[in-house]
Amino acid sequence: MTNPNGRFGIHGGQYIPETLMNAVIELEQAYNHYKNDTAFNEELTELFNEYAGRPSRLYYAEKMTKDLGGARIYLKREDLNHTGSHKINNVLGQALLAKKMGKTRLIAETGAGQHGVATATAAALMNMECVVFMGEEDTKRQALNVYRMRLLGAEVIPVKSGTATLKDAVSEAMREWTSRIDDTHYCLGSVMGPHPFPTIVRDFQAVISKETKSQILKKEGRLPNAVIACVGGGSNAIGSFYHFIEDKNVQLIGCEAAGRGTDTFETAATVNTGRVGIFHGMKSYFCQDEYGQIAPVYSISAGLDYPGIGPEHAYLHDINRAQYVPVTDDEAVNAFEYLSRTEGIIPAIESAHAVAHAMKLAPQMDRDKIIVVTISGRGDKDCAAIARYRGENISE
């Protein structure tokens, strides 16, 4: 799907300062070498299975299915991975790659803190130094994850510039990388940024759909009718979609954070409200004003609170292979509570956006249809924020 210049249709590319060009070229060469290296892949599989706890379960949500009265709903349980989200898949791959490249230090951006925690974990495991950039606003929303990262030995730098959220954390991590390249790998957390990151991160996350496909064939003897995942930058979504892209009968649905609604300015629904632009190293859809100034986006979810979307998603949208639907804060919070009560599974507020759409879609589908919803992460980190949303002030 990627052409040699890292393009997905018109999207992607490498719009970065000259200072970083040799670093991304070196990364691409190393990745092209190791992705076909048997020893590297065996080592990564060992880490996936023995350390991260893969394969993750594909769970038939029987109570939810019966309650909604439509399609059969399966949950792909990335929340059960070590560190509590899909982020570990990409991080183990990149950290191992960085180690092979002789790097001794990992830097990362984080929104909700899940990618930061995963990076800090891999750094601890592989004896690497780790610095995580996190918007100051997010360090407040996700204080527990800040503590977890520090506990794991990482330095957490609160980013005060701009809107002090995920986009600013990405900008600051890029700035840091331009000042220290020799020993440092930028462990980007989503399918975004300059080539080769969107491809590398997708390949490491593609394990999700690879497993889902064989699991659903085993359980149901057929492919699902729809795969649903939440989308910020879009890493769990592309991982959930990837091995189904060629299966044209499988509907692929990405759920964007609409915040307070796509008709308000307080939204992060990039495909639904943005237009094509160039930012953070890539051409893709971005929320921006008429002069190309990047919009200060909003969502209750710190992990989806990003003004752009990965270039491969932009392409899947352009060719109409995937649909991107907006889900509001309210809908996501309802789904967060619904899944907790119905199935005893507390999803991350990010993943709750996907659950919310499944709740709308399932009743409209026949009972012999199948939906797979990726639960990208666990929701423990969100409990205090959701309590506040409901007007209950609890301390963590």
Partner 1 sequence: MSNIYKAFENKKAFIPFFTCGDPDLETTEAAVRQAVKNGAALIELGIPFSDPTAEGPVIQGANLRALSGGVTTDKVFDTVRRLRKDVTVPFVFMTYSNVVFSYGAEKFLSLCADTGIDGIILADLPFEEKEEFQSCCDKYGVDLISLIAPTSENRIAMIAKQAQGFIYVVSSLGVTGVRSEIRTDLKSIIDVIRQNTTVPCAIGFGISTPEQARDMAQIADGVIVGSAIIKLIEQHGKASPEYVGKYVKQMVEAVNEA
Question: What are the catalytic residues?
Answer: 87, 109, 376
**Token code pair at residue 370:** 């199948």
Cα–chain center distance at 334: 21
# residues near partner 1 by CB under 8 A: 36
The binder of partner 1 chosen from 8, 13, 119, 317 (CB under 8 A): 13
Binding mask 258-277 for partner 1 (x = CB under 8 A): -------------------x
Smallest distance, Å, CB 192 to partner 1? 13
- Tallying the residues shown for the chain, one arrives at 396
Between CA 71 and CA 323, with CA 76 as vertex, the angle to 5 degrees is 65
Residue selected from 148, 213, 243, 280 as contacting partner 1 according to rule CB under 8 A: 280
Strand partners, 106: 130, 185
- Assess 361 for contact with partner 1 (CB under 8 A): no
Judged by CB under 8 A, which of 3, 29, 217, 278 binds partner 1?
278
23 binds partner 1 (CB under 8 A): yes
Q: Does 29 bind partner 1 (CB under 8 A)?
A: no
Contact 261, 111 (CB under 8 A): no
3-state secondary structure at position 310:
coil
Residue 244 binds partner 1 (CB under 8 A): no
Minimum gap (Å) between residue 123 Cβ and partner 1: 22
The rounded distance, in Å, linking the Cα atoms of 29 and 40 is 15
Nearer to partner 1, 184 or 209 (CB): 184
Q: Assess 340 for contact with partner 1 (CB under 8 A).
A: no
Calpha distance 107→134 (Å, rounded) = 11
State which residue, 112 or 297, has the beta carbon closest to partner 1: 297
132-143 residues labelled b (16+ CB within 10 A) or e (exposed): bbbbbbbbebbe
| By the rule CB under 8 A, 8 interacts with partner 1 | no
Verify binding: residue 102, partner 1, rule CB under 8 A.
Answer: no
8 Å CB contact between 337 and 320: no
**Cβ proximity to partner 1, 104 vs 323, nearer residue:** 104
Which lies closer to partner 1 via its Cβ, residue 5 or residue 127? 5
Between 178 and 334, CB nearer to partner 1: 178
Asked if residue 13 lies in contact with residue 194, where contact means CB atoms within 8 angstroms, the answer is yes
Instruction: Verify cis geometry, omega within 30 degrees of 0, for the bond prior to 347.
Output: no
Check if the beta carbon of residue 336 is closer than 8 Å to that of residue 262.
no
Q: Does 192 participate in binding partner 1 (rule CB under 8 A)? A: no
**Smallest distance, partner 1 to C-beta of residue 298, A:** 15
List the one residue from 1, 15, 57, 104 that touches partner 1 (CB under 8 A).
Answer: 15
Q: Which of residues 132-191 bind partner 1 (CB under 8 A)?
A: 161-162, 167-168, 171, 174-175, 178-181
Which residue in 124, 132, 118, 110 sits closest to 48, CA to CA? Answer: 118
Cα(77)–Cα(71) distance, integer angstroms = 18
Assigned token pair, 221: 């003897």
One of 164, 238, 255, 294 touching partner 1 (CB under 8 A): 294
Minimum distance between the CB of residue 2 and partner 1, rounded to whole angstroms? 15
d(CA 355, CA 345): 11
Answer whether 255's CB lies under 8 Å from 354's CB. yes
Q: Which residues bind partner 1 (CB under 8 A)?
A: 5, 13-23, 161-162, 167-168, 171, 174-175, 178-181, 277-281, 283, 286, 288, 290-294
